Amino acid sequence: MSSPEAAKATPAQQAVWTVVVGIPLGQVMTYAQVADRAGLGRAARMVSSALRKAPKDMHLPWQRVINSQGKISFPKDSAEYLRQYELLCSEGVVFIKGRVNLDLYKTDTAIDEQLWSGFFVE
DNA sequence: GCACTGACTCCCA
DNA sequence: ATGGGAGCCAGTG
């Protein structure tokens, strides 16, 4: 985040960007997962807002963020939908009837969290 | 400080 | 499966 735009961003937005940048190639995260991991609780909408405002030179893998239904949050006939779909396909993400199997594509970090929570039972 | 908005979610008919 | 409605939390004017 070296661009002037990024410097003006709020902590919440920067947190979102940090999380999104960390999504491994070929995997996806839901808005809710990103929000939670960014310390925003249920502010899933913040994630979309942050992605929209992210400067282009940041090379943010925004396409790896989809909604909780495993679908792209754009109208299926929009240019943005197609763009995101193409990008994900090129990364190896498989769509079945317009949806991604979230059980298969949840990120490694998400899996780590599950394992760790298992070791440190509260 | 208030009201409105949203690339969201959850729940229920 | 699917559409509608209320809830949520920050950002923005």
Tens digit of each residue's pLDDT (9 = 90 or more) over A10-56: 999 999 999 999 999 999 999 999 999 999 989 999 999 999 999 98
**Polymer length in residues for chain A:** 122
Using C1' positions and the CA of A44, the closest nucleotide is: B8
Q: How far is the CA of A45 from the C1' of B10 (A)?
A: 14
Q: How far is the CA of A58 from the C1' of C1 (A)?
A: 39
* pLDDT at residue A120 in the model: 45
Q: Does the structure show a pLDDT above 50 at A121?
A: no
Structure tokens that stand for A20 in this block: 């999104």
Q: pLDDT digits over A62-78, tens only?
A: 999 999 999 999 999 89
User: Are the CB atoms for A38 and A95 separated by under 8 Å?
Assistant: no
- In terms of DSSP H, where are the helices of chain A? 4-8, 11-21, 31-37, 44-53, 79-90, 102-105, 108-119
- Give me the sign of the Cα torsion angle A80, A25, A31, A1: negative
The model's pTM: 0.86
Q: Does the structure show a pLDDT above 50 at A99?
A: yes
